[in-house]
Each structure stands twice: as structure tokens, then as C-alpha cells.
Structure 1
Amino acid sequence: MSLLKIASVACIALTLGACQSLFEPSYKAPLETLRDTAETVKQGCSGAECPLVNIDTVRFPGEPQLDGIIERRLLQMTRSTADAPLPASLAAYREQFLRDAAPRNSSYLQAKVREQHDGLVIIELSSYLDNGTATGKPGRGFINYSRQEHKVLTLADMLKPGEEQAFWKAAQVAHNSWLISTRLDQEAEFLKAWPFKQTPNVALTTAGVMLKYDVNTIAPYALGHVELKIPYSRLGGILKPELFPARK
């Protein structure tokens, strides 16, 4: 092949590569978000004891599929039992709750972007049901959404095959660190009453893999939602390599 032909082929390859990069989405730039918030009081009611529903969520104009995922997860957090039917929408839930609510009953639902990095959108979900008693019922959750795959990542998606046990051992080390930092490791009765447990709430943040626990899971209600952090340095060979945050 002549030098001229080699040069021509190289130019074509470079041109195609440049064109391809123009059409590939940039995952470095975060998705645009729109906050959608509303508080609705029971119709015809006035005063401090009126039932209300407060919904504070986020929408993604460039990724509408994620909007539906968030709405479904928020609706799941309204269930009183695991097998209870889901309302058709947040609007339907609001209408149903206000129709049936007693005085001083309130429902709060929130979805917020915790962070975006490396093509991932990390959503933190919160709920709180105030049923008029001394303590309400709070809930927490995470969504780890992959923009490349257009899906929510489960723990199985995050880990290398066969490494789930190793992951939870790393989580138990993080739990031990939390006990030491709070000096609860010195409380024999606490350790007996509140042993380490697994949680479905896992988030791939840039600071580490975060685990969040519902109240009364590994600590009493008064300590709130305990959050544990597993440093990425402890997850080599456990977490899939492509999910480690890129170094800036």
C-alpha cells in the first residue's frame, strides 16, 4: 500500500472517530433536573390538625424513564404492608390519603438527587407517615440509575459474581467502625440488642458505597437512620471495576 493510501485511510479513521464522539452522549455532564413540589391539605379543612400530603420530587426532562421509576419507588414507600396494592399514581395516592385521613395525619414523600457521577444518578428517597402518635413512621431508600444502561442497578449488578458474602463482610467492618466512632462498642447491652444486619439501601456515592438503615433496624428509633460507609479501597475484587468512581 502506498504512503498516500495509508495517509488517506488514517484520515478517514480519524474523521469517523471524531464523528462518533460527537454523537455519543456525554456522561460527564449531569442530567438536567426539575423540582416538583406540592403540599395539599384536605379540602374544606382549616387549622393546625388538618391532614396533609407533601410531595417533593424531581424530574428529568432528558430521561423520562427515570421519572416513572422514582414515582413507583415513592408509591412503594406508602404501603402499610409489603403486599398492599400500589396506587395508580402519586396524584391518586394524595387523593386517597386525604379522603381517608383522620385529623393530625400527614404524609411526606421526597426524592432528591444525592449526586451524579460517572454516568450514574444517585437518588435518595424519604418518606414519613405521621399518624398522630408520638412517633411517626419514617422510611429511606436509594436508586442507583445507570444512564448508559438506562436501568436501576441492583446489588447483583454492582458486584462481581460470587462476591456478595465478601461485600457484606466489608459492610460489617464499616459497622464496627461506626460502633467505635459512637462508642457504642463499649455498651454490651446495645451490642446484644442491635446486631449487624444487611440492608437493601445501597448507594454508589463518590465518597464510598453508602448503606442506609431504616429506624429500629441496627439501632433504636432515637438514633435515626444509621448510615455506614464502605471505602472503595476495601472493595477491590468485590465491586465491578467499571463502577469505581473515576479519579479527577
Structure 2
Amino acid sequence: MSLFKIASVAAIALTLGACQSLFQPNYRAPLETTRDATETLKPGCTTPDCPLVNIDTLRFPAEPQLDGIVEKRLLQMTRTSPEAPAAPTLAAYRDEFLRTAGPRNSSYLQAKVREQHDGLVIVEFSSYLDTGGAHGTPGRGFINYSRQQHKVLTLSDMLVPGQEEAFWKAAQVAHNSWLISTKLDQEPEFVKQWPFQKTQNVALTYGGVILKYEVSTIAPYALGHVELKIPYPRLNGILKPELFPGRN
């Protein structure tokens, strides 16, 4: 083959590669979001202690199916018991809550992007329900949305098959590190009363895998939502290789 033909083939290959890249999503660039925030008082109420619903959520114009996923997760956080049904929409929840709410009752729901990297969108959810008790009920949650797969990753999606037990052992090491850093390991009664537990709130952040706990699970209410962090090097052979930051 002549040098001219070789050069021509190489030029065509480079052109095709460039054209291909034009039609592939740029996962390094974060998804654009728009904020959708409202605060609604009970209709007809004019007193300072009017019940209210505050909803602060997100829209993803380039990934509209994520809008529905976010709304569904927020609605799950409004349930007052595992058996309670969730409202069909946030608007329906707001209207029903305000219809039955008493003075000073309030409900806050928020979805925010914690971070984006490697084609992952980590959305963090917060809720706070105040129905007049000694203190309100706060809630937290995560989703790890894969833009490549167009789905929310479950823990089994994240882990190498057969490595779930190893993952939770790594989480226990992170829990021990947290006890030491807070000096709570020096309080035998605390360690006995608040043992390590698993959580559904797992986030694949760039700096490490984060586990977030609901209040009063591994620590008293006053300590809030405890976060544990597992460094990625501890998850070699446990977490799927493509989910390590920078490898995908």
C-alpha cells in the first residue's frame, strides 16, 4: 500500500472517530438542572402559624426521565409508615397535607445534586415533617443515577457479584473509624447501645463511598444524620472497577 493510501485511510479513520464523538454524550460535562421551588400556605389561613408545604426540587431538561425518578423518591419520603401509600404527585401530596394540617404543621422536601462525575448524578434528598411533637421527623436519602445506563444503580449494581458481605465489613471499618474520630469509642455504653447497622443510603461520591444514616439509628437524634466514608482503595475487588472515579 502506498504512503498516500495509508495517509488517506488514517485521515478517514480520524474523521470517522471525530464524527462518532460528536454524537456521543459528553459524560464529563455535568447535566444541566433547573430549580423548581415553591412554598404554599394552607388556603384561607392568615395567622402567623399557618401550615405550609415547602418543596425544593430539580428538573433535568436533557434527562427528563430523571425528573420522574426524583419526584417518586421525594414522595416515598412523605410516608409516615412503611405501609402507608404515597401520593401520586407532589402537587397531590401538598394539597392533601394542607387540607388536614393543624396550626404550625409543616412539611419540607428537597432534592439537590450532591455532585456529578464519570457519568453519575448523585442526588441527595432531604425531608422534614413537623406535626406538632417535641421535634420534627427529618429524613435523608440518595440516588446514584447512571447516565450511560439511564437507571438508578442499586447496591447489587455497584458491587462485584458475591462481594456484599465484604462491602459491609468495609463499612464496619468506616464505622469504627468514625467512633474513634469522635472519641465515642471511649464510651462503652454508647458502643453497646448504638451498634453498627446497614443503611440503604449509599452514595458514590468522587472522594469516597458515603453511607448516610437516618437519625436515631447508629447514634442519638441529637447527633443528626451520621455519615460514614469508605475510601475507594478499601473497595478494590468489591466495587465494580468501572465505578471507581476516573476509570470509566
TM-score surpassing 0.5? yes
In structure 1, the residue corresponding to 2:72 is in which secondary structure?
A: helix
The range that moved more, 3-12 or 118-127, is 3-12
The residue aligned with 2:135 is 135
Give the superposition deviation at 1:219.
0.5
TM-score, normalised with respect to structure 1: 0.97
2:159 aligned with 1:155: no
Task: Please list the CA deviations of residues 165-199 of structure 1 after superposition, one character each: whole Å capped at 9, or x if unmatched.
Answer: 11100000000000001111011111111000000
- 2:192 is the counterpart of 1:189: no
SS at match of 1:111: strand
Residues 97-112 of structure 1: matches in 2 within 5 Å? 97-112=97-112
What residue in structure 2 maps to residue 177 of structure 1?
177
CA distance in 2, matches of 1:214, 1:179: 17
1:49-104 deviation line (CA, Å, top 9, x unaligned): 21100001111111111110000000000011212222110000000000011112
**2:232 is equivalent to residue 232 of structure 1:** yes
Distance 1:192 1:46 in 2: 49
How far apart are residue 210 of structure 1 and its match? 0.3
Q: Which residue of 1 aligns with 2:202?
A: 202
The alignment partner of 2:40 has SS state of: strand
Q: TM-score, normalised by structure 2?
A: 0.97
String of CA shifts for 1:200-221, please: whole Å, max 9, x gaps: 0000001100000000100010
Counterpart of 1:114 in 2: which secondary structure?
strand
Q: Which amino acid aligns with 2:22?
A: L
Deviation at 1:8, TM superposition (A): 3.0
SS at match of 1:127: strand
Alpha-carbon distance in 1 for matches of 2:23, 2:128: 43
Partner AA of 1:132 in structure 2: G
The equivalent residue for 2:69 is 69
Structure 1 gap ranges (5+): none
Report whether the alignment pairs 1:223 with 2:212: no
Sequence identity, in percent?
A: 77
Could you give the per-residue CA deviations for residues 116-138 of structure 1, whole angstroms, max 9, x where no partner exists? 11111110000010011111111
Deviation at 1:3, TM superposition (A): 4.2
1:22-74 CA-to-partner distances (Å, cap 9, x unmatched) read 11110111111111101000011122321100001111111111110000000
CA RMSD of aligned residues (A): 1.1
Query: In the TM superposition, what is the alpha-carbon distance from 1:105 to its structure 2 partner?
Result: 0.9
Q: Is the deviation greater in 62-71 or in 6-15?
A: 6-15
